[in-house]
Amino acid sequence: MFLCPICRTDLVQSGRTLRCHNGHSFDLAAQGYVNLLPANKMSSKAPGDNAEMVNGRTRFLDSGSYQPLSDALNRTVIALAADSPRILDAGCGEGYYAARLYDALKAAGNAPDFSGIDISKRAVRHAAGRLPEGGFAVASLFELPVAEGSVDICYNIFSPVCAGEFARVLAPGGHFIAVYPAARHLFALKEILYEKPYENEEKSFELEELEIENRERLSYSFTLNSNELIESLFMMTPYYYKTPVDGSRRLAECERLSIEADFWIVTYRRRNGR
Ligand SMILES: C[S@@+](CC[C@H](N)C(=O)[O-])C[C@H]1O[C@@H](n2cnc3c(N)ncnc32)[C@H](O)[C@@H]1O
Ligand SMILES: [Zn+2]
């Protein structure tokens, strides 16, 4: 299912080890995932979301506030999926969407061959725990350890979009689904954090390597009833890295927040001839 990150040939599992025919081997961790990120390609010792961020994300996602997004993703994938689809969650995080999508496909009688990739070892470990039936790897989205044309549906929720890599791994007739923030996404949170909040810029979401098939906007409101959940959501956002002290202080005092979720779900297909 994965490629050797050193020589780019197929990895074959035997027992708890994945091995390529050139003798490079990678052990499965106790939780069932594999680390395919060569040490010399790591920008830091523990790249991606750290333990606190992964825990915050799990707390927030399990509260159900983004379940409508997960349900919409599931509907989109189920409508596009052929029999036994090969699915890749590119930037799977802690596995919330992966586990729910797997269950939805299985319930629809179309159990997938499911893989997930993320650069955060903590996140991948959690994802492998949520979905033991899936294959999960620590790797970079910019150099996927995945064979050309081997994925039917690749999706990406709020993770870096490496369209060239996603187009490379898609099979003919394959689809890529991306979730992006729309204009009003989390505006009430920004109103607390910043003196002058701005709406997100509306973009065309065009990608050179892939052709847009469909755009769906999903907007709804939800309420967070504890500071812990509000802070958990904050930690998941890019604002976490660039909020003035005043804004963080105001958020620390907030115990209840009604807020808008506003997403674009954009479906792409490979361009002709690719
Ligand atoms: C905003 S989070 C989204 C995670 C998940 N899709 C979700 O919505 O819960 C972005 C994810 O991208 C991962 N990430 C960032 N840069 C990456 C890279 N170069 N390769 C793989 N994953 C990366 C982070 O570790 C993090 O889990
Ligand atoms: Zn190898």
Contact in structure between 225 and 63 (CB atoms under 8 Å):
no
What radius of gyration do the chain's Cα atoms show? 19
- For residue 2, give the ligand nearest its CA: 2
Question: pTM of the full predicted structure?
Answer: 0.96
Q: What residue type is 43 in one-letter code?
A: S
Dist. CA 261 → ligand 2 center (Å):
43
Ligand 1 pocket, residue 123 CB under 6 Å = yes
Q: What mean pLDDT is predicted for residues 253-258?
A: 97
* pLDDT, tens only, 178-195: 999 999 999 999 999 999
pLDDT over 90 percentage in the chain? 90
- Mean pLDDT for the chain overall: 95
Q: What residue type is 105 in one-letter code?
A: L
Least confident range from 14-23, 44-53, 82-91: namely 44-53
Q: How confident is the model at residue 50 (pLDDT cuts 50, 70, 90)?
A: confident
Q: What mean pLDDT is predicted for residues 249-258?
A: 97
What pLDDT is attached to residue 45? 65
What pLDDT is attached to residue 41? 65
Is pLDDT above 60 for 273?
A: no
Nearest to 97 by CA among 119, 125, 120, 116: 116
What pLDDT is attached to residue 55? 94
Is pLDDT above 90 for 271?
A: no
Q: What mean pLDDT is predicted for residues 149-178?
A: 97
Cα-Cα-Cα-Cα torsion 220, 127, 213, 201, nearest 10 degrees, comes to 50
Ligand 1 pocket, residue 89 CB under 6 Å = no
194: exposed, middle or buried (Cβ count in 10 Å: 0-12, 13-18, 19+): middle
Among protein residues, the one with the nearest Cα to ligand 1's atom 8 is 157
